[in-house]
Amino acid sequence: MSKHNSLEKLAEINSHVQVHDQRDRIVVQVGQCSASIGAYDELESIKTKYSETHRIEVAGCSGACFSGPRVTGLDSSDIFSNDQDFFKSQTRYVLQGIGEIAWDDIRQYISIGGFEGLAKALSVTSEEVIDIVSDSGLRGRGGAYFPVALKWKSASSQRSAPVVLVNAEEGEPGLFKDRHLMEGMPFRVIEGALIAAYASKSEEILIYVNAEAELAYSRLNISLQKCQDLGLVGKNVLGTDFSVSIRLFRGAGGYVCGEESTLINTLEGRRREPRLRPPFPTESGFRSLPTVVNNVETLCNVPLVLSSGPEKFRSNGTSDAPGTKLLSLSGNMPYRGLAEVPFGITLLSVLQDVGGIKDLNDLSGVAVGGPSSGILPTHLLDLEILPGIIDGKNVMLGAGGVVALSKNTDPYEATIHLSKYNAAESCGKCTPCREGAPKIVSMLESIRNSSDRSDEFKRLEMLATTVNAASLCGLGQAAGNPFLSYLNHFSQEQGD
């Protein structure tokens, strides 16, 4: 069948799934976040009251976790109206539709442009898809910000057909963006993965879902089934020559499993520890096949890049860092939840305009980028949200976790806390991380109350530098960051 039929085929599917229920909708947002505060009870009571008169649908969480469980359709408000402060400063690109459409309704997904990106991709060659994504400047959103097109190209030029591996491990504390995407828009995750597979000439997609992300897993599973039933996954996708299988896997548990080579090891049933590079996964990854590992957020950008074009994507963010970034906001701020902002915006404006923080004196600092990064003092919050290191030293954006520390939280204790996390999550393979990370903790703890810690800080600086410089994988190479950023940003003020 010709490739040019893919758009027609999509229209055919769309007409096939049309339903003609004209009743008004009530949409209840159920995510792992809101489920824990009673979303299912809310859903049940709404069903009892309104199932005769209304169509009751379940959507994912819009990101306003602070005000869940949320219901729309009972009055004239839309999902944004109650919390305008939180939403108005966001740029919702990859999150569009989440919270609005039923997560499992493929018709609604198609109605907002879903699978258009896939159909367009299939109407051109793999190489052309890579060119389009390359034009957009899309980089990976898992924390390393590697150019997506480059990764696909590298994998597609190997001798064997590659495997596309969706990294939905998201094991970092304070991070919940991928879960929101999988729960709220599972079809977009699948569509992104399909395009990635087509572009990199792969016929096999594996999705590796965090072991605790129960809801994300089950929704992906159901959505995958629907896609298979409609010919969107399997043999001759959308009537083209492109055939692909998708399988879901549960994560093996542990922060380090998000590290791509560790993820591959665990997927093969091996010990959870990183592999040596080279070879890189794009050369030899899962079962020694070339492997494209893409983060969920990354892949959710892909269908939109295809359907609405790279220019639209580039219209957000900066020229070097185009597009938006999902930030997981938590800690001491009024609006805790998932927000999407363009690259280049300052951290301060995120905290104030989106997070709703009024007085910076309520904070002792802001931890950005999770345990592999560090804590920024309040006077440095005008730094821009950009890929990589943002303070010129040891604090990086990572996957976009932002935790505001209250003024009652001592940044020193928070530094110990982050360091402890790194020590505990070390896979145990390499000496600097396994042995060094816990020693950072024990030394910090032992000098907690010393009046003069300068000598100890010198030793700690050497130790943290060594852990970063000598460790095997990205996690170990960042395990010294919490201390080093404390040293950079807090030790002067605190008289050290």
With respect to other proteins, which residue has the nearer C-beta, 188 or 420? Answer: 420
Asked if residue 337 lies in contact with residue 64, where contact means CB atoms within 8 angstroms, the answer is yes
Q: Which of 227, 326, 427, 447 binds other proteins (CB under 8 A)?
A: 427
Q: How far is the CB of 423 from other proteins (least distance, A)?
A: 6
Asked if residue 431 binds other proteins (CB under 8 A), the reply is yes
Q: How far is the CB of 50 from other proteins (least distance, A)?
A: 50
Q: How far is the CB of 304 from other proteins (least distance, A)?
A: 33
Q: Which of 472, 478, 479, 487 binds other proteins (CB under 8 A)?
A: 472
Secondary structure element (H or E) that encloses residue 414, with its range: helix 411-425
Q: Which of 284, 426, 481, 488 binds other proteins (CB under 8 A)?
A: 426
Asked if residue 463 binds other proteins (CB under 8 A), the reply is yes
Letter for the amino acid at 70? Answer: R
With respect to other proteins, which residue has the nearer C-beta, 88 or 270? Answer: 270
Q: Considering only 50-58, 162-170, 244-252, 429-437, which stretch makes contact with other proteins by CB under 8 A? A: 429-437
Q: Which of 423, 447, 478, 479 binds other proteins (CB under 8 A)?
A: 423
Q: How far is the CB of 426 from other proteins (least distance, A)?
A: 4
Asked if residue 329 binds other proteins (CB under 8 A), the reply is no
Q: Which of 146, 465, 491, 496 binds other proteins (CB under 8 A)?
A: 465
Q: How far is the CB of 430 from other proteins (least distance, A)?
A: 5
Tell me the number of residues near other proteins by CB under 8 A: 33
Question: What residues have CB less than 8 Å from 177, skipping those under 6 apart?
Answer: 170, 296, 297, 326, 327, 328, 338, 399, 400
Q: Which of 9, 54, 139, 429 binds other proteins (CB under 8 A)?
A: 429
Q: Which of 54, 153, 272, 336 binds other proteins (CB under 8 A)?
A: 272
Asked if residue 460 binds other proteins (CB under 8 A), the reply is no
Give the C-alpha separation, 97 to 372, whole Å: 32
Asked if residue 305 lies in contact with residue 139, where contact means CB atoms within 8 angstroms, the answer is no
Give the C-alpha separation, 424 to 495, whole Å: 29
Q: How far is the CB of 433 from other proteins (least distance, A)?
A: 9
Whether the CA torsion 101, 107, 112, 115 is positive or negative: it is positive
Sort residue 180 into left (φ over 0), alpha (ψ -120 to 50) or beta: alpha
Give the C-alpha separation, 425 to 403, whole Å: 20
Q: How far is the CB of 286 from other proteins (least distance, A)?
A: 15
Asked if residue 188 lies in contact with residue 302, where contact means CB atoms within 8 angstroms, the answer is no
Asked if residue 191 lies in contact with residue 118, where contact means CB atoms within 8 angstroms, the answer is yes
Asked if residue 93 lies in contact with residue 301, where contact means CB atoms within 8 angstroms, the answer is yes
List Cα–Cα distances, 323 to 16, 22, 39, 313, 338, in angstroms. Answer: 34, 37, 32, 6, 16
Q: Which of 251, 285, 432, 474 binds other proteins (CB under 8 A)?
A: 432
Asked if residue 271 binds other proteins (CB under 8 A), the reply is yes
Residues of this chain, 236-255, that bind other proteins according to CB under 8 A: 254
Asked if residue 375 lies in contact with residue 405, where contact means CB atoms within 8 angstroms, the answer is yes
User: E strands along 70-136, which residues?
Assistant: 71-72
Q: Which residues bind other proteins (CB under 8 A)?
A: 254, 271-273, 276-278, 423-432, 434-439, 442, 459, 462-463, 465-466, 469-472
